[in-house]
Chains A and B, each alone.
Chain A
Amino acid sequence: MSEKIATRDAYGEALLELGEKNEDIVVFDADVGSSTRVKHFAGKFPERFFQMGIAEQNMVGTAAGMATCGKIPFVSTFAVFGTARVADQVRNSIAYPNLNVKIAVTHAGITVGEDGATHQAIEDIGIMRSIPNMTVIVPGDAVEAKEVVKAAAEYDGPVFMRFTRGGVPVVFDEEEYEFKWGKVMPIKEGSDLTIFATGVMVGEALDAANRLKEEGIEAEVVNVHTIKPIDVEGVVASAKKTGAVVTAEEHNIYGGLGSAIAEVLGENHPVPMKRVGVKDTFGRSGGPEELMDYFEISAEHVMSAAKEVLKRK
């Protein structure tokens, strides 16, 4: 298959490029900068890099204060610590006053792997989605990740971005890729069902669609990078066209992409639907790929979900 690049690496690179172009960009770390890749920015722009130590709540609050002074803070840590741990601070110090802070977390989902459950965020999208004024974006590969970071910096308001620890197949062409804020991105046309996917599951969904095609099933694949605000029009259009939906995310089936799609379709165009995701259980140690299998969120599971909804059509 294509090369694999961790989206956290794309983030680190994009952040460095941003730093070169915009001197208002400031970056915050809580002692995980080598892992979140903000170390590149730190190396080049030490005066704009703020090491806050293992004290995430203060990190978020401090970033909020900086935003009131015209800075554009990027706050990074692992997904578990950049959401649940600091939810009150994100809510009350950033989102409620609508301050221009970007929460860019890495090490999201169960593909974090061996570190295990305490470090495998499966509720982070759900938490951020529930907070007003928060834009929630989950890039599918390194190409998209870079564009997302650039777009987030241009946008005036709170943005949550989710990146991977491990390598992810590059799905998009750098030359051709165009990021459209708040819009779904159909990447494969089909008529039998729609697979809405986000993050690492975009590659899995494409893989599943290709294999389904061999069995005579034409699956449409739609990349939903922006979970909030959800593109109601785009989601409904595809569901109307195909009449059956599978959602796929490296996240709990409660609260994330699946929930967002279910909300939209339930209110606008109900169709048979199946959510592929972590079934409301905590993660565990293991290799990233074997964990995707263990938690039933790999291409194979997208395929069986597809066949299931087709039966209900």
Chain B
Amino acid sequence: MTEIKQLEDKAREIRRSILKMIGAAGSGHPGGSLSATDIVTALYFKEMNLDSDNPDWDERDRFVLSKGHAAPVLYAALAEKGYFPKEELQTLRRLDSHLQGHPDMKKTLGVDMTTGSLGQGISAAEGMALAAKLDQKDYRVFTMLGDGEIEEGQVWEAAMSAGYHKLDNLIGFVDNNHLQLVGKTEDILDVHPVGEKFEAFGWHVIEIDGHNMEEILEALTEANEVKDKPIMIVANTVKGKGVSFMEGEAGWHGNAPNEEELKKALAELN
């Protein structure tokens, strides 16, 4: 089996986990978790230098899910990678669970930064990247933002700063699914064109199909060659990707599938 096929299979399994855990919890954010899945899969199962037995390994690559509400995709990847037992995914958002509604670095092993309030993760990622430069360490810092999230001003403070500090060990993704909570980004506060904006802020920009595993890997290879600029990979995606009735629908931003919907969704991901 080729590496691409392996990663695609892994992504499918992660999509299944996302849906099952949100179904069990009765709440959560399926749309934005599914649109981010292929990228997160590539990061955790191919690109990032990690050791699931040593979540605090100080030379590790870091990942900051700035769009913290997509916690299910992060949790699914971490469980799949062995940071904690996969069965625990079904405890998402429960009172007795370490799996909080948004990633909590003090409760869940493998989470590099607590996020949830949009626009803040990218700043933390910048801090980690600066720390690496200060300590002359080679680890890279990856971060993922939503295209709705980049409406937050803090994102642009961080973008300006990272560009100014030439942080070539900082690799960001925008999960560019053109939807946010109440509707389409173009009907709310259209931040597009995204790539041009980051370019103007001094970033090296790569635009890809966020569901094409080959393009994702190629972009990451290109990113590793860039010097003196942070990198932003603008990934064109579909919110709810993988589940036909969720794809492209703003309504699946923060709603859990019921039992029947879950069944239908899982059947599509076989």
Interface of A with B (CB < 8 Å)?
Answer: 26, 47-48, 50, 52-53, 55, 57-58, 60-71, 88-89, 92-93, 96-98
B157 touches A65 (CB 8 A): no
* Closest CB in chain B relative to A287 CB, distance in Å: 35
B113 contacts the other chain (Cβ, under 8 Å)? yes
**Chain A contacts of B251 at CB under 8 A?**
none
A62 touches B126 (CB 8 A): yes
B123 touches A64 (CB 8 A): yes
A57 touches B153 (CB 8 A): yes
**Chain B contacts of A50 at CB under 8 A?**
130
A26 to B116, alpha carbons, bound, how many Å? 26
Is chain A's binding surface mostly helix, strand, loop or mixed? helix
Contact flag A62-B106 (CB < 8 Å), given A57-B153, A92-B120: no
B134 touches A64 (CB 8 A): no
A92 to B64, alpha carbons, bound, how many Å? 14
Number of A-B contacts (CB under 8 A): 101
* Closest CB in chain B relative to A162 CB, distance in Å: 24
Contact flag A97-B113 (CB < 8 Å), given A62-B161, A66-B131, A70-B58: yes
B128 contacts the other chain (Cβ, under 8 Å)? yes
Interface of B with A (CB < 8 Å)?
Answer: 58, 64, 104-106, 112-114, 116-117, 119-120, 122-132, 134-135, 153-154, 157-158, 160-161, 164
A70 to B123, alpha carbons, bound, how many Å? 16
A57 touches B154 (CB 8 A): yes
**Chain B contacts of A68 at CB under 8 A?**
105, 112-113, 124, 127-128
B114 touches A55 (CB 8 A): no
Contact flag A48-B127 (CB < 8 Å), given A70-B58, A89-B154: no
A97 touches B161 (CB 8 A): no
7 pairs across A/B with beta carbons < 8 Å? A55-B161, A57-B120, A57-B123, A57-B157, A62-B130, A89-B117, A97-B105
A58 to B117, alpha carbons, bound, how many Å? 13
A65 to B58, alpha carbons, bound, how many Å? 13
B123 touches A26 (CB 8 A): no
